[in-house]
């Protein structure tokens, strides 16, 4: 297939995934900030939301204070923030238009109708909490529908695999970023100074990767920080864990390798990351330092993005 | 201006045979039902994303072309005659182009004046002596046809460069069949759906000799911001060929390749929807980012077929148009089946004098204009507009032609106040491959939605209709 088509499919999937993640982050932050101050301590949750979205620096160039109004505006609607939900949806629609021939009509319809519907939100904004909640839900549903129609209607060929790679790479990045911002509340008990306050922090982390219920099914335990870290990093049954994302990335890259009859640096690099995740356990990671581990992962993950681009997309 | 030919009603109250069943159906169908279907059609168009961009209109860069649900109907007999005329015309266009870029018999015979060719910006000296496979220059032609009476078909304009609109022909039919299955059950409408297959066959038949047995065809688009982008992606999809932009292509050793995820892949035929000027920055406009550097040298080397060929603009130029009846006679030795609109060439002093004296009754067109822009419709224009045009004409007479204001035929059309006659034209699409010329029965009917308006262009408030040729 055309390199540009593959590139568009890959980025289309990334944009949709990112929009959903942003919507989840805002949603989870709204919840936690609605609690009385005594339950969440002194941290500015809106500031963490900016950090997990990776846009704190550009935000502070435009705004002075990270409060609900400013951050919601910046993450959801701002045209100056290249990865606001609005810009993700606009970019997804533009990408869809340029690769229409590679999309199934169901996928196109999902993006196009969401785009049409959201034009009204862009022009009117969300004046109430209810409007905002509706909007955030709509964005998440759009992503689910897009993912679902891709899964149900696309041919299982390179177009599908490139699109899935976009999803998993973006997802791994998002999960890693939450961990990066919140790692201090996930440290093992003895090193940890927070106390029961952190319960709400923990549930908020799980909520932003839609894993709160999953946690209870997997561990049958009350929320424990090292188990949360285990779930999000190493548990390959959780679709948003780093291990699961890399299991899928390796599989997709292998499928492409087989179809094209050759492997390359992307396959090797992805396998390297997957092996490291497979052979780690939480003890080692805490020994080594969660923060360092995550930082390394984020760098490796974005390096894979560059390698894929070089090998296939340009 | 004469009274317009009504395609449905015969003066005196009778119906033309092709419309009898439709009229019966309309009588049985309550107006609300029609209105409901109309809204449904609009929703479908918007969801499918059948939109076009209007240049210089920043407010809404994507708009729908209004779709009128009442079909325009023609009998099989009428179509047969039109089809014959279209094939004749396109054959002549191709022979004319072959001649202009080779022997130039027609210039030596003094049928067309030299300066109209050589001083014409759309004449491409690069094409002199260049061989094109099977001597086909115009693989896809859109010939704009109007009717003024029951007998004659008149060619308003030949489009021999990158005619658009065929996606509307196909989608209009799809949507009509979805919305009005009962109406189709009562008619025998000739299908149009084989157009993509015929187009692909025509394109493959003109692949260069150096191509492999299974030539690779690609559609070259200027990109998502082009007004006809929807059509480009639609056709690429229906033909099952890659939709490429200039940046996807690269020329190496005078061969054209596309960049794919598996490396470079050779392309043999390009159905290009990019104008000549933008095709190759090394040959034409150096500032073009839409084209492919080196494309013209691959073309000269005979390793790539461009459809349509480069330089076809010289055949559909409005100044050449007036010579078309002579061109048909010269190459084919036949009387032209399709008529031309009588045309005054403002470059000729006698014609210019007549035009200046009769501006308020004439349509004046720019020789190089298109899309209905830069046009004077005398009877509908204000005094000031006419005077402004008079100045332009005097300054640059060779830039204009003039024609009588035609009373385009009318068809019943949905309007705010119920069904009413509106003026229509027709653009059939004529495909020429190595062996044959084919036309899918019908074409794109464009309708001027404003009462009395004669401008059918979508950029100026025109809409479209499904076009039915009855299979008798």
- Identify the DSSP state of A210: T
**Shortest CA distance from B230: residue in chain A:** A97
The pair phi, psi for residue B210, each rounded to 5°, is -75, 0
Q: Check: CB of residue B445 under 8 Å from CB of residue B424.
A: yes
Q: How distant is the Cα of B43 from the closest Cα of chain A, in angstroms? A: 11
pLDDT surpasses 80 at B371 = no
Instruction: Return the closest-CA partner of residue B268 out of B310, B308, B221, B217.
Output: B217
Alpha helices in A154-289 (DSSP H): 158-182, 198-208, 212-219, 225-233, 242-260, 265-278, 282-288
Extents of the domains making up chain A: 1-153, 156-314
CA proximity to B96, closest of B313, B300, B403 = B313
For residue B169, pLDDT over 60 is answered with yes
Gap between the Cα atoms of B411 and B70, Å rounded = 9
Task: Give residue B53's pLDDT.
Answer: 60
- For residues A288-307, average pLDDT: 94
Looking at the structure, tell me whether residues B310 and B365 fall in a common domain: no
Q: Is A2 helix (H, G, I), strand (E, B) or coil?
A: strand
Structure confidence at residue B58 (pLDDT): 45
Which chain B residue has the Cα nearest residue A2? B260
Using a CB–CB cutoff of 8 Å, tell me whether A299 touches chain B. Answer: no
Contacts of A94 in chain B (CB under 8 A): 224
Q: Do A97 and B49 touch (CB under 8 A)?
A: yes
Is the pLDDT at B55 greater than 70? The verdict is no
pLDDT tens figures, A74-133: 999 999 999 999 999 999 999 999 888 889 989 999 999 999 999 989 988 888 989 999
Say whether residue B43 is in contact with chain A using an 8 A CB cutoff: no
CB pairs A-B closer than 8 Å: 50
B236 vs A6, A94, A101: nearest CB: A101
**What pLDDT score was predicted for residue A145?**
97
Q: Is residue B459 part of a domain?
A: no
Asked which of A123-137, A252-266, B82-96, B194-208 is least confident by mean pLDDT, the reply is: A123-137
In the numeric block, the tokens 């392309």 are attached to B267
The answer to whether the CB atoms of A116 and B260 lie below 8 A apart is no
Q: What is the pLDDT of residue B308?
A: 96
**Domain stops at, among B308, B332, B356:** B332
Taking an 8 Å cut-off on Cβ atoms, the answer to whether A3 and B245 are in contact is: no
Contact list, B224 vs chain A (CB under 8 Å) = 94, 97-98
Q: What number is the average pLDDT over the span B278-284? A: 91
Question: How large is the average pLDDT for residues B70-96?
Answer: 97
In this predicted structure, the answer to whether residue B59 has a pLDDT above a threshold of 50 is no
Is B262 part of the contact surface with chain A (CB cutoff 8 Å)? yes
User: Which of A98-102, A291-295, B260-264 is least confident?
Assistant: A98-102
Distance CA B296, CA B279 (A): 8
Q: Are residues B393 and B263 in the same domain?
A: no
pLDDT digits over A183-221, tens only?
Answer: 777 776 555 544 556 778 888 888 888 888 999 999 998
Q: Which positions in chain B touch A312 (Cβ < 8 Å)?
A: 261
> Taking residues B288-317, what's their average pLDDT?
94
Q: Are residues B355 and B286 in the same domain?
A: no
Residues of A in contact with B222 (CB under 8 A): none
Statement to judge: residues B387 and B268 lie in one domain: no
Residue of chain B with shortest Cα separation from A162: B261
The beta-carbon neighbor of A100 closest among B47, B233, B259 is B233
Taking contacts as CB-CB distances below 8 angstroms, the residues of chain A near B235 are none
Comparing B282 with B64, which gets the higher pLDDT? B282
Same domain, B277 and B371: no
Is B358 within the bounds of a domain? yes
pLDDT at site A156:
95
Residue-wise pLDDT for A162-171, tens only, equals 999 999 999 9
3-class SS of residue A189: helix
- Contact assignment for A97 to B242 by CB distance below 8 Å: no
Tokens of B104: 């130039």
Mean pLDDT, range A6-16, rounded to an integer: 97
- Look at residue B461 and tell me if it is in a domain: no
Q: Nearest residue of A to residue B49 by CA position? A: A112
Nearest-angstrom CA–CA distance, B245 and B305: 16
Tens-place pLDDT, residues B211-237: 988 999 999 999 988 888 999 999 999
Q: What percent of chain A has pLDDT over 70?
A: 95
Please state the rounded mean pLDDT for residues B9-31: 92
Least confident of A105-114, A283-292, B96-105: A283-292
- For residue A20, pLDDT over 80 is answered with yes
Pairing state of beta strands B410-415 and B429-432? unpaired
Q: According to the model, what pLDDT value does residue B196 have? A: 97
Share of residues in chain B with pLDDT > 90 (%): 73
CB contact under 8 A, B261 and A312: yes
**Residue among B3, B1, B2, B8 nearest B23 (CA):** B8
Q: Is B260 on the interface with A (CB under 8 A)?
A: yes
Q: What is the pTM of this model?
A: 0.87
Question: What is the extent of the structural domain holding B360?
Answer: 342-404
Mutate to test the interface with A, among B227, B229, B261 (most CBs of A within 10 A): B261
Task: Work out the minimum CA distance from A99 to partner chain B, whole angstroms.
Answer: 8
Residue B22 pLDDT more than 60? yes
Q: What is the mean pLDDT of residues B391-403?
A: 91
Instruction: Give the integer Cα–Cα distance in Å for B453 and B4.
Output: 12
pLDDT at site B57: 45
User: Least CA distance to A103: which residue of chain B?
Assistant: B237
The answer, for A11 touching chain B at a CB cutoff of 8 Å, is: no
Return the pLDDT at B54: 54
Residue of A nearest to B242 (CA): A2
Set of chain B residues whose Cβ sits within 8 Å of the Cβ of A98: 223-224
Q: Which residue has the higher pLDDT, B318 or A251?
A: A251
- Is A255 in CB contact (< 8 Å) with chain B? no
Domain count, chain B: 2
Residues from chain B contacting residue A6 (CB–CB below 8 Å): 261
Whether residues B246 and B379 share a domain: the answer is no
B332, B367, B385: which is the final residue of a domain?
B332
Instruction: Examine the pLDDT at B448 and tell me if it is beyond 60.
Output: yes
Name which of A203-207, B47-51, B111-115, B191-195 the model is least confident about. B47-51
Taking only residues 101 to 160 of chain A, the set having a beta carbon closer than 8 angstroms to any beta carbon of chain B reads: 101, 108-109, 112-113, 116, 158
What local confidence, expressed as pLDDT, does residue B318 receive? 84
Contact at CB, A97 and B47, closer than 8 angstroms: no
Contact yes or no for A101 and B245 at CB 8 A: no
Does one domain contain both B320 and B357? no
Can you tell me the distance from the alpha carbon of B460 to that of A130, in angstroms, rounded to the nearest whole number? 42
Contact across the interface for A4 and B242, Cβ inside 8 Å: no
Closest chain B residue to A259, measured at CA = B262
Chain A's closest residue to B48, CA to CA, is: A109
d(CA A1, CA A256): 12
Identify the CATH number of the domain in which residue B354 sits. 3.30.1490.270
Q: Is A202 on the interface with B (CB under 8 A)?
A: no
Are A113 and B47 inside 8 Å of each other by CB? Answer: yes
As a whole number of angstroms, the distance between CA B55 and CA B195 comes to 29
The CA distance from A116 to the nearest CA of chain B, in Å, is 9
Asked if pLDDT for residue B2 goes beyond 70, the answer is no
In three-state secondary structure terms, A174 is helix
The share of chain A scoring above pLDDT 90, in percent, equals 70
Same domain, B235 and B276: yes
Q: A-chain residues within 8 Å CB-CB of B247?
A: 4
Q: For residue B227, is it within any domain?
A: yes
Instruction: State the residue for tokens 């148009």.
Output: B321
> Are B257 and B300 members of one domain?
yes
pLDDT mean across residues, chain A: 91
Q: By the CB < 8 Å criterion, does A297 face chain B? A: no
Q: Which residues of A touch B244 (CB under 8 A)?
A: 2
Residues of A in contact with B243 (CB under 8 A): 101
Test B261 with A162 for CB contact under 8 angstroms: yes
- Token duo for residue B273: 């929807």
Mean pLDDT of the region B167-173? 94
Give a three-class secondary structure readout of chain B.
Answer: CCCCCECCECCCCCECHHHHHHHHHHHHCCHHHHHHHHHHHHHHHHHHCCEECCCCCCCCCCEECCEEEEEEEECHHHHHHHHHHHHHHHHHHHHHHHHHCCCCHHHHCCCCCHHHHHCCCCCCHHHCCCCCHHHCCCCEEEEEEEECCCCCEEEEEEECCCCCCHHHHHHHHHHHHHHCHHHHHCCCECCCCCHHHHHHHHHHHCCCCCCCCCCCEEEECCCCCCCCHHHHHHHHHHHCCEEECHHHEEEECCEEEEEECCEEEEECEEEECCCHHHHCCCCCCCCCCCCCCCHHHHHHCCCCEEECCCCCHHHHCHHHHCCHHHHHHHHHCCCCCCEECCCEECCCHHHHHHHHHCHHHEEEEECCCCCCCCEEEHHHCCHHHHHHHHHHHHHCHHHEEEEECCCCCEEEEEECCEEEEEEEEEECEEEECCCCEEECCCCEEEEECCCCCCCCCHHHCEEEEEEEEECC
Q: Which of residues 194-233 of B touch A (CB under 8 A)?
A: 223-224, 229, 233
Q: How many other C-beta atoms lie within 10 A of the C-beta of residue A100?
A: 23
CA distance B224 to chain A (A): 6
Both B310 and B374 in a single domain? no
Chain A neighbors of B49, CB-CB under 8 A: 97, 100, 108, 112
Residue B108 within any structural domain of the chain: yes
Distance between B204 CA and the closest CA of chain A, angstroms: 20
Mean of per-residue pLDDT scores for chain B: 91
Whether residues B249 and B347 fall in one domain: no
Nearest CA in chain B to A111: B47
Nearest neighbour of B259 by CB, restricted to A3, A100, A256: A3
Chain A residue closest in CA terms to B245:
A4
Confidence at residue B218, expressed as pLDDT on a 0 to 100 scale? 97
Q: Mean pLDDT across the stretch B85-106?
A: 97
Contact A97 B229 (CB under 8 A): yes
Q: Is A1 on the interface with B (CB under 8 A)?
A: yes
Rounded CA gap, A171 and A165, in Å?
A: 10
- Cα distances (Å, whole numbers) of residue B223 to A90, B216, B233, B247: 17, 20, 10, 10
pLDDT at position B61: 58
């Amino acid at each position: 297939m055309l390199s540009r088509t593959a590139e568009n499919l890959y980025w289309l999937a990334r944009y949709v995934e990112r929009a959903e993640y942003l919507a989840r982050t805002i949603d989870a932050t709204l919840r936690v900030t609605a609690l009385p101050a005594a339950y969440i301590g002194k941290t500015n949750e809106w500031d963490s939301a900016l950090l997990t979205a990776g846009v704190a620096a550009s935000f502070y160039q435009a705004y002075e204070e990270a409060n609900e109004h400013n951050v919601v505006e910046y993450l959801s609607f701002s045209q100056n923030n290249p990865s606001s939900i609005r810009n993700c949806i606009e970019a997804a629609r533009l990408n869809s238009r340029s690769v229409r021939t590679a999309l199934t009509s169901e996928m196109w319809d999902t993006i196009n109708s969401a785009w049409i519907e959201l034009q009204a939100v862009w022009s009117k904004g969300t004046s109430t909490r209810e409007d905002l909640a509706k909007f955030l839900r709509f964005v998440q549903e759009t992503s689910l529908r897009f993912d679902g129609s891709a899964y149900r209607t696309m041919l299982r060929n390179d177009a599908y695999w490139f699109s899935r790679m976009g999803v998993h790479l973006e997802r791994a990045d998002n999960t890693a970023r939450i961990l990066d911002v919140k790692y201090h509340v996930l440290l093992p008990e003895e090193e940890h100074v927070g106390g029961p306050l952190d319960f709400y922090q923990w549930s908020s982390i799980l909520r932003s990767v839609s894993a709160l219920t999953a946690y209870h099914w997997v561990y049958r335990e009350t929320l424990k920080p090292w188990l949360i870290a285990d779930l999000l990093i190493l548990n390959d049954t959780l679709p948003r864990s780093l291990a699961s994302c890399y299991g899928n990335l390796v599989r997709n890259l292998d499928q492409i390798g087989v179809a094209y009859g050759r492997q390359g640096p992307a396959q090797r690099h992805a396998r390297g990351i997957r092996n490291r995740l497979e052979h780690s356990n939480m003890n080692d990671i805490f020994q080594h330092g969660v923060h360092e581990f995550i930082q390394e992962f984020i760098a490796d993950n974005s390096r894979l993005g560059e390698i894929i681009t070089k090998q296939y997309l340009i | 201006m004469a009274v317009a030919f009504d395609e449905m009603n015969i003066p005196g109250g009778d119906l033309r045979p092709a419309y009898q069943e439709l009229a019966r159906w309309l009588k049985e169908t309550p107006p609300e039902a029609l209105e409901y279907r109309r809204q449904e059609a609009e929703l479908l168009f918007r969801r499918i994303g059948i939109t076009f961009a209007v240049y210089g209109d920043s407010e809404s860069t994507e708009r729908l072309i209004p779709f009128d649900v009442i079909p325009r109907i023609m009998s099989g007999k009428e179509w047969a005659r039109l089809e014959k005329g279209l094939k004749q015309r396109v054959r002549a266009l191709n022979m004319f182009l072959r001649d202009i870029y080779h022997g130039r018999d027609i210039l030596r015979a003094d049928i067309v004046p030299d300066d109209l060719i050589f001083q014409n910006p759309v004449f491409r000296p690069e094409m002199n002596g260049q061989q094109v496979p099977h001597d086909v220059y115009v693989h896809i032609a859109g010939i704009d046809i109007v009717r003024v009476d029951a007998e004659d078909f008149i060619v308003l304009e030949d489009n021999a460069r990158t005619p658009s609109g065929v996606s509307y022909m196909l989608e209009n039919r799809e949507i009509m069949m979805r919305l009005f299955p009962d109406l189709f059950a009562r008619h025998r409408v000739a299908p149009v759906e084989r157009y993509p297959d015929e187009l692909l066959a025509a394109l493959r038949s003109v692949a260069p000799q150096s191509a492999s047995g299974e030539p690779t065809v690609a559609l070259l688009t200027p990109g998502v911001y082009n007004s006809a982008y929807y059509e480009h992606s639609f056709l690429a999809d229906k033909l099952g060929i890659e939709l490429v932009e200039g940046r996807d292509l690269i020329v190496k050793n005078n061969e054209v390749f596309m960049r794919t995820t598996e490396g470079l892949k050779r392309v043999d035929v390009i159905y290009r929807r990019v104008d000549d000027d933008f095709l190759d920055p090394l040959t034409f406009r150096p500032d073009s980012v839409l084209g492919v550097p080196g494309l013209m040298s691959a073309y000269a080397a005979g390793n790539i077929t461009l459809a349509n060929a480069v330089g076809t603009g010289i055949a559909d130029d409005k100044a050449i148009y007036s010579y078309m009846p002579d061109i048909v006679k010269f190459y084919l030795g036949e009387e032209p089946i399709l008529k031309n609109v009588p045309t005054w060439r403002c470059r000729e002093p006698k014609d210019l004098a007549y035009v200046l004296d009769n501006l308020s009754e004439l349509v004046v067109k720019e020789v190089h204009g298109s899309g209905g822009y830069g046009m004077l419709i005398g009877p509908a224009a204000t005094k000031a507009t006419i005077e402004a045009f008079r100045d332009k004409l005097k300054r640059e007479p060779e830039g204009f032609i003039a024609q009588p204001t035609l009373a385009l035929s009318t068809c019943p059309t949905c309007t705010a106040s119920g069904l009413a006659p509106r003026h229509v034209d027709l653009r059939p699409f004529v495909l020429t491959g190595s062996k044959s010329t084919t036309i899918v029965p019908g074409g794109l009917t464009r309708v001027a939605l404003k009462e009395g308006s004669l401008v059918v262009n979508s950029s100026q408030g025109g809409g479209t209709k499904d076009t039915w040729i009855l299979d008798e």
